Amino acid sequence: MLASGDDVAQKDRITLRGLRAVGHHGVFDHERRDGQEFRVDVTLFVDTSVAGGSDDLSATVDYGTLSSALVDVIQGEPVNLIETLAHRLAATCLADPLVADVEVTVHKPQAPIPHEFDDVSVTIRRGRS
């Protein structure tokens, strides 16, 4: 459930864009077998005031640690849909108690589409209940 717009508007943001990893997601056998690159953008809605005042990493989200957890999800158990992958990535972000809300975009630039295109992506927003 997404927090109210006012709550999100008052939160600070930490953004990680263009995280890349090879995953084996898709509905076609060749996608599962061969894999392909997925790119992920996440925006975390957090209160950074304590970290900003203390200069202490433990008071904020460690985006290095988070990026490793997100790559583990991308490289992990295959799913058919990037919507499902986005939900798993959002849950990974929300596992950090400092993250109030998250926006996740999963890009699949090598999607099996029979036409020229730049990108296919799904964006979701999730928050704490």
- The H or E element spanning position 106 is strand 101-107
| CB-based burial label for 57 (10 Å; 0-12, 13-18, 19+) | exposed
Single out the residue of 95, 73, 93, 94 nearest to residue 84, CA to CA. 73
Active site residue 108: yes
Q: Give me the catalytic one of 46, 108, 126, 127.
A: 108
Single out the residue of 116, 104, 98 nearest to residue 19, CA to CA. 104
Give the active site residues.
Answer: 108
